[in-house]
Amino acid sequence: MRRAVCPGSFDPVTNGHLDIIGRASRLFDEVIVGVLINQSKQGLFTVEERIDMLREVTASYDNVRVESFRGLLVDFCRAQQASVLIKGLRAVSDFDYELQMAQMNIGLAGVETLFMPTNPLYSFLSSSLVKDVAKWGGDISAHVPDTVRQQLTTRLHPTPR
């Protein structure tokens, strides 16, 4: 079985992430979305909330599964019996660090990284930017699925009691 991992923080998932996950699901028998548990960085959403959102928005893909991991990504790949990582590349600025990680991951455990060019519609999109725009009341409806937009609004602008 050809199995690939799409790793990330997904705090929260954006349409850019979803585009990469959907395209990967057409190339591999199974795609595992790996959500990093990062104890040194607190996100806006808990890992459980991020997983719930990811499961909801990938529910239409039969061959996509969402899991969390801590520690090294290559250890997660080994545990999932996946030898390929899929990463989206937005711009040249992404490439430098992604190349370093790809080379480290192949050296550590022989895990290959395949890069997919971002859909031009989403080439400027990141979770951080979406959170910033949402924080100041900007329209993010073109950038995240509706359920994510609603949860961002509730988290950032709770109704006063």
Give the residue numbers annotated as catalytic, written as ranges: 17, 41, 90, 127
Could you say whether residue 54 binds ligand COD (CB under 6 A)?
no
Could you say whether residue 12 binds ligand COD (CB under 6 A)?
no
For the CB of residue 160, give the shortest distance to ligand COD in the complex, in Å.
31
Which one among 84, 104, 109, 129 touches ligand COD, defined by CB under 6 A? 104
Could you say whether residue 58 binds ligand COD (CB under 6 A)?
no
Could you say whether residue 113 binds ligand COD (CB under 6 A)?
no
**Other CB atoms closer than 10 Å to residue 152's CB: what's the count?**
22
What is the phi-psi region of residue 10: left when phi exceeds 0, alpha when psi lies from -120 to 50, beta otherwise? Answer: left
CA 29 to CA 2: how far, in whole Å?
A: 5
Say if CB 93 and CB 100 are below 8 A apart: no
Q: What are phi and psi of 124, to 5 degrees?
A: -100, 0
Of 14-22, 25-33, 43-51, 146-154, the segment contacting ligand COD by CB under 6 A is 14-22
Taking CA 93 as the corner, what is the angle to CA 2 and CA 55, rounded to the nearest 5 degrees? 40
Which one among 7, 32, 111, 152 touches ligand COD, defined by CB under 6 A? 7
